[in-house]
A and B are shown apart, each in its own frame.
Chain A
């Protein structure tokens, strides 16, 4: 797979603030890649450096192997969908969408064809002569998308494009964006702080925190096997069991239990074992099956969620959140029940930080 966007040692300082710190990343051709992280983590700055709207303090940005250096945005083979859409308020939809083609001096007949294609692609046919101010947020979003896609960029950069939409529209657009990306086959680099959005749409995710790229992998691996406490916590809910590495492939929990878990950290390193609530199961005391790790505890609280039941269970040194599929049968537990919580060590990960 060839590399669409390559970043090596990319660093960006704003005065004393280090926005992006020595970032290395290869984004593959044709993939839907998300940069995920809380606000201020440097994800948007990274995107802007690819677009050329910001120049790196140090490091190299390449697009399809070509060094971008200090090349201005208008000379880069990428287009951006801005968080605020940045539609030109004094131009109608067709002029907005055709702007890039006009700037590249594409002749009028071809331009009109392409504009019509792009407007149809985002299902905005019939709105070509409206001004952005006459469109809803969702419609403006589509126009911004069409305006970028019509240029057939090698890479499309999207900066929280769904952030301003309400939940329902956002979910619909998530689906449509993914479809669209498959249809046009362009590499998408998508910046978001919404972990659910990143998980549902992306081929791969890069999680950023404090200017650093913490983990790059598929959504499944990031969710099931986070490598740092931040990633585990940021993506979904999880339990952290404090532990210490004793030897290669073994950690000891705070209560003295030993667990065989693969870890690259050396002996004595304080770590945590993370297990997702839905990877824990609750049994009557002593009824847990073999081959699992077991912890005895007492049910603290029960929350019925409709499709699931959330238990909070206190083992002697901490609380565990457990999420069980709701069943009609009587294996439901109640507050005060003495139980055993179990998990398959394959579903646990050792995290640091």
Chain B
């Protein structure tokens, strides 16, 4: 008996499956579209709009003036300061997190999970509250300041400086560095290290030639996860930096609130977005998969 299957049926079934997948994703797609894509569209639109003399943003007379202003010395200074702080924060987090991630991933599985929970405990309380706690510690008669001056490390007063901002950012974003590093190091096949040791590599060489290159996806993922929010950080600089020196996040807020310059605030936001996108792109170029 001949069994005839209409080739169109297979195609139809495939289409039904794909439609089913789309329907399941639909609520989230709608949510993201309404609350993310549309507002983002507004930001981009605003950046090409005109600022009236009273500080209103008029959706007319499209121009690129707001982008031209990005080249101004003031904006450049703010951008570079933010880049610098984000870069130092990222580097410090990496230096602190790598040994910790290495330590955790070389423990027994039960110990590992306990330590990972430990890394995530800070997330259980509010970020804002934790940052205010730093303010108390860093105050001129706070514990941090007293200890620092007590052991003779300067007068220890760092509140409202870039160092205080970096300290706060490293504190806040360290888990974002530890977790991807842990995931990358934990995945490394330890027989590779044994192989390297067997082939005359010292412990240090084995690390440099095998463990480090193989943990790179984690280094890149962690760096992006720390760098990107540090670059646009608002809360930490506002609380610990005293906002005397503008950073990207507060500068953007200033444009909308005080200077009432919607187009410039928007073009600055677009700049931050582009920097973040570039970071993400680099990550995927490096062959990274899971963020």
Interface hit among B197-205, B221-229, B238-246, B273-281: B197-205
When each residue 180-199 of chain B gets 1 if its CB lies under 8 Å from chain A and 0 otherwise, what string results? 00000000010110111111
Instruction: Contact check, A82 vs B194: say whether CB atoms are below 8 A apart.
Output: yes
Instruction: Contact check, B189 vs A151: say whether CB atoms are below 8 A apart.
Output: no
Complex CA–CA separation, A240 to B196 (angstroms): 47
- Looking across the interface, which residue of chain B has its beta carbon closest to that of A51? B198
Q: Which residues of B contact A137 (CB under 8 A)?
A: none
Instruction: Contact check, B197 vs A53: say whether CB atoms are below 8 A apart.
Output: yes
- Looking across the interface, which residue of chain B has its beta carbon closest to that of A104? B200
Q: Which residues of A contact B200 (CB under 8 A)?
A: 74-75, 100, 103-104, 151
B210, CB-defined interface residue at 8 Å: yes
Instruction: Contact check, A88 vs B192: say whether CB atoms are below 8 A apart.
Output: yes
B214, CB-defined interface residue at 8 Å: yes
When each residue 80-99 of chain B gets 1 if its CB lies under 8 Å from chain A and 0 otherwise, what string results? 00000000000000000000
Complex CA–CA separation, A53 to B213 (angstroms): 22
Complex CA–CA separation, A324 to B197 (angstroms): 52
Complex CA–CA separation, A33 to B256 (angstroms): 79
When each residue 83-94 of chain A gets 1 if its CB lies under 8 Å from chain B and 0 otherwise, what string results? 010111110000
Complex CA–CA separation, A24 to B214 (angstroms): 40
Instruction: Contact check, A82 vs B199: say whether CB atoms are below 8 A apart.
Output: no
Instruction: Contact check, A74 vs B201: say whether CB atoms are below 8 A apart.
Output: yes
Interface residues on B, range: 10 to 19
Q: Which residues of B contact A86 (CB under 8 A)?
A: 189, 191-192, 194-195
Instruction: Contact check, B197 vs A74: say whether CB atoms are below 8 A apart.
Output: yes
- Looking across the interface, which residue of chain B has its beta carbon closest to that of A79? B198
A29-55: which residues lie under 8 A (CB-CB) from chain B? Answer: 51-53
Q: Which residues of B contact A51 (CB under 8 A)?
A: 198
Instruction: Contact check, B194 vs A103: say whether CB atoms are below 8 A apart.
Output: no
Q: Which residues of B contact A84 (CB under 8 A)?
A: 189, 191
Q: Which residues of B contact A52 (CB under 8 A)?
A: 197-198
Complex CA–CA separation, A104 to B200 (angstroms): 7
* A interface size (C-beta, 8 A): 24
B82-136: which residues lie under 8 A (CB-CB) from chain A? Answer: none
Instruction: Contact check, A88 vs B198: say whether CB atoms are below 8 A apart.
Output: no
Q: A74-B201, A89-B214 are in contact. Are A99 and B191 (CB under 8 A)?
A: no
Instruction: Contact check, B205 vs A88: say whether CB atoms are below 8 A apart.
Output: no
Complex CA–CA separation, A100 to B197 (angstroms): 9
A96-120: which residues lie under 8 A (CB-CB) from chain B? Answer: 99-100, 103-104
Instruction: Contact check, A90 vs B214: say whether CB atoms are below 8 A apart.
Output: yes
Complex CA–CA separation, A80 to B196 (angstroms): 10
Instruction: Contact check, A103 vs B205: say whether CB atoms are below 8 A apart.
Output: yes
Interface core residue of B199, B201, B202, B213 (most chain A CB under 10 Å): B199
Q: A88-B210, A90-B214, A103-B205 are in contact. Are A151 and B199 (CB under 8 A)?
A: yes
Partner of B194 from A73, A90, A99, A148 at Cβ < 8 Å: A73
- Looking across the interface, which residue of chain A has its beta carbon closest to that of B193? A86
- Looking across the interface, which residue of chain A has its beta carbon closest to that of B206? A74
Min CB distance A190 to B, Å, is: 16
Partner of B213 from A87, A90, A100 at Cβ < 8 Å: A90
Complex CA–CA separation, A174 to B189 (angstroms): 27
When each residue 23-63 of chain B gets 1 if its CB lies under 8 Å from chain A and 0 otherwise, what string results? 00000000000000000000000000000000000000000
Instruction: Contact check, A82 vs B196: say whether CB atoms are below 8 A apart.
Output: no
Q: Which residues of A contact B192 (CB under 8 A)?
A: 86, 88-89
Complex CA–CA separation, A74 to B189 (angstroms): 19
Complex CA–CA separation, A121 to B205 (angstroms): 28
Complex CA–CA separation, A291 to B202 (angstroms): 65
Instruction: Contact check, B198 vs A73: say whether CB atoms are below 8 A apart.
Output: yes
Q: Which residues of B contact A90 (CB under 8 A)?
A: 213-214
Min CB distance B202 to A, Å, is: 6
A147, CB-defined interface residue at 8 Å: yes
Taking A80-B198, A99-B201 as given, write out 15 further A-B residue pairs in contact, using a Cβ cutoff of 8 Å, ordered by the A residue number.
A51-B198, A72-B203, A73-B194, A74-B199, A74-B201, A78-B198, A79-B199, A86-B194, A86-B195, A89-B192, A99-B196, A99-B209, A100-B199, A103-B196, A104-B200
Residues of A near any B CB (own CB < 8 A): 51-53, 72-75, 78-80, 82, 84, 86-90, 99-100, 103-104, 147-148, 151
